[in-house]
Structure 1
Amino acid sequence: MKARVGTQRRFLLPRLPLERVHVEVTSLCNFACEFCPNPGLERPGGMMDFQLLQAVLEEIAATGVTRRVVFHQQGEPLLYPRLAEAVAHASALGLESCVTTNGALLDTRRVDELVGAGLSHLVVSLQTPDEASFALRGARNLSYAEFETRIVAAVRRILTTPTATQVSVAFLTKPLPRLTLPVFGGEWQLVQHNRQLRRLLERWALLLVEGIGGAPDRAAVVRAVRRTGVLHRNEVRLHPRLLLESRPVGQWPMPERDWGRPWLPARWGYCHGISEHFAILWNGDYTFCCADHNGRTSTANFQEVSLLDYLDSQPVQAALAGFARLRPVHPYCQLCLGGPHPMIVAIKSLGSIVYFKVVNRLRRATRV
């Protein structure tokens, strides 16, 4: 059945090339973060067959579906034994490659392998930037001090290496806990206040770049950090190849973890999933977006359906047409934009439109 690989399409949406395609090299992870759905995945775990991975990359390049591949969906990509080979294959095909990692497995050897393979972008999901919040990671046999040391050493290694590899270090804030995290019990030690955020950003900025050529001095770092806040996404440029970021924690659609409270579906809202990106899971299943951790939107498998046939398929086209009218069509999309209380659903629905239609576009425009 899988025949079409060319660039001819029946439908006009989504416009190509997409911003990115997520390729899940593995769904396995060495952490068990309380704010992540991975520990409770209902689908089987595994690692992508390398021949399948090669075929995915080659078809992406041949069709022009995207120019950027992100080696991450769920799981920790540094657990994949042939990750550097995958990056090298993508680079040879003219594709940009991004690896998103929790940073625990970063060391000199892995950094050098990835950079040498032509890695375009390394995203370190620091997420918990101090010892108190690190307890949420469920890390075995790893102290916060070791975690911090590995990340700092890896980033500084890249910045002092003659390479084009970009680095982002990101962590989470929790400004409105009752609205953003009603599904979990207990108190989460994530950043909640502007003063705390700015203190941590300043500390990490100095850890990562102090003494490195091309980095701003301490006074410039302090000025940049003063403009940040917990209610929105922040990007602080510390070096031509390094961004320090923070963003409010999202709310994964996990009604099964809502302690028995009903999860209300959204009837309106917007998402850029499938119009700007989609994912291919480790077994080849397609999903609409990077937030579909259990593959609920999977309607086809790469080994049976080509990339372009998938994008032209009825479920994908129906989802795109629905979001064009600000209406989530797929039941999972309705859950993702939904929540355990009507007010939360309304805020998320309206917020999704404002963020994706206005804020996100303005943020991108300022980068150009």
Structure 2
Amino acid sequence: MPKAVMGQDGSIRLPGDFLLRRRLSQGMEWWLDQRDVALILLPRLSDVRKLYVEPTTVCNLNCRTCIRNVWKDSEAHMEMETLRQLVEQTKELSDLRRVVFSGLGEPLTHPHILEMVRLVRERGLAVTIGSNGLLLEKAMSRELVALGVDRLVVSLDGVTPETYTGVRGAMISQVLDNIRGLNEAKRELGSLTPTLGIEFIALRSNIAELADLTGLASQLGAARVLVSNVLAYTDEMRDEILYGYEPRPPFNAGSWPVKADAWVMWGTLELPRMHWGAEQHCRFVQDRAMVVGWDGGVVPCYALSHNYSYLSVDGRRKE
């Protein structure tokens, strides 16, 4: 555990390696909080670096794991005028580097998603798109490559057709064909981007396929696999939970070579913590990020962007 030292003048000195790992700099301001006997330091972050934009709440799938099984919100697309105003307002965010099109709908269902990407790219910002991959047909792939999208993250909750269909109700072969088509479009247009990432929701019914997923990621040229635990919105999904109140050993991690033009990098597998409970850590705070919903509303993270209920490990339903 890192140790902080208080000087004679009352100043607190934090270890340099601690600051480096968390991308914190000397001279930063901190908020002070206290809980029982603990002193809590919260960094006062200056500006937003990453902006998550929800272009739509419409989706072309009905996945068993999805919040849409219990939520009370309507389905709608973001108006283009809302997006234009948002892009204009990003000029006031001097540290902003990236816009992520994702959310609780499928971004590629928005009829003007390519225009949205173009407007953001004209601002000189990097673009990530999160997708289920079913609408990533060859023409769409070529447009995304040409527009300069530099990251695409595709959800794959299984490797075998049976498992994938059981979770998402669709055919994995279509998604894999679309990803291969994206790779072909990159080759044809002479581009290394968008780089590919894969998201995998860990369930009791699919966790045995995680080892095969890294092999599939290597075949597809994916640079990253992000594994997350399911949040149970339904009684059925509560039976799929892998975590509990007590910490459990993580899944086996691994890496794989990913060829990119004349050089090779290593793909990474990112794993979740394996116990239920709150902790004073938020990736949105760490990444200096915020979320803009389809209606233009601003919230700190996706968890606070919609109204819904879920089940805890002991079966209690929470709103």
What TM-score comes out, normalization by structure 2 length? 0.65
- Give the Å deviation of 1:271: 1.6
Match of 1:148 in 2: 176
Shift in alpha-carbon separation, 1:29–1:247, aligned structure 2, 3 A: farther
Query: Which secondary structure does the structure 2 equivalent of 1:127 belong to?
Result: coil
Which residue, out of 163, 181, 189, partners 2:205? 189
Give the structure 1 partner of residue 214 of structure 2.
201
Q: Deviations over 1:204-241 (max 9, x none)?
A: 423x25xxxxx9xxxxxxxxxxxxx9626666451338
In 2, Cα distance between the equivalents of 1:135 and 1:285?
Answer: 34
**Residues 1:104 and 2:104 aligned together:** no
Residues 1:15 and 2:28 aligned together: no
Matched, 1:269 2:280: yes
**Which of 112, 115, 122 is matched with 1:92 structurally?**
122
**Contact 2:165/2:171, CA 8 A, preserved across alignment:** no
Higher helix share: 1
Structure with more contact order per residue of length (Cα contacts < 8 Å, sep ≥ 6): 1
Is structure 2 residue 97 aligned with structure 1 residue 70? no
Q: Number of paired residues?
A: 245
Name structure 1 gaps, 5 residues minimum. 1-10, 178-187, 210-214, 216-228, 252-263, 297-334, 343-368
1:143 Cα offset (Å): 2.7
Q: Which residue of 2 aligns with 1:318?
A: none
Give the Cα separation in 1 of the matches to 2:304 and 2:205: 25
Distance in 2 (CA, whole Å) between partners of 1:30 and 1:66 is: 31
Q: Is the 8 A contact 2:57 2:294 kept in 1?
A: yes
Instruction: Output aligned runs, 1:118-129, within 5 Å.
Output: 118-129=148-159
In the TM superposition, what is the alpha-carbon distance from 1:95 to its structure 2 partner? 0.9
How far apart in 2 are the matches of 1:129 and 1:249? 19
Q: Give the Cα separation in 1 of the matches to 2:118 and 2:137.
A: 19
Q: Following superposition of structure 1 onto structure 2, how do residues 1-368 of structure 1 map, counting pairs within 5 Å? A: 14-139=44-169, 142-172=170-200, 174=202, 188-192=204-208, 196-206=209-219, 208-209=220-221, 231=251, 236-240=256-260, 246-248=269-271, 266=278, 269-274=280-285, 276-294=288-306, 339-341=312-314
The verdict on how the C-alpha distance between 1:171 and 1:70 changes in structure 2, with shifts beyond 3 A counting, is: closer
**Distance in 2, Cα, partners of 1:54 & 1:235:** 40
Structure 2 spans left out of the alignment, 5+ residues: 1-29, 32-42, 224-248
Q: Give the partner amino acid of 1:98.
A: T
Give the structure with the higher percent strand.
Answer: 2
Amino acid at match of 1:170: I
Quickly say closer, same or farther: Cα 1:18–1:133, change in 2 above 3 A.
farther
Cα RMSD over matched residues?
A: 3.6
Q: Deviations over 1:109-141 (max 9, x none)?
A: 1011112222121112223222122124443xx
Measured in 2, the distance between the counterparts of 1:75 and 1:148 equals 20
Runs of 4+ in 1 over 6 A off after TM superposition: none
**In structure 2, C-alpha distance between the alignment counterparts of 1:33 and 1:243, rounded to whole Å:** 31
The TM-score, its normalising length taken from structure 1, stands at 0.57
Shift of 1:65: 4.9
Number of the residue aligned with 2:23: none
The separation in 2 between residues aligned to 1:123 and 1:14, in whole angstroms, is 30
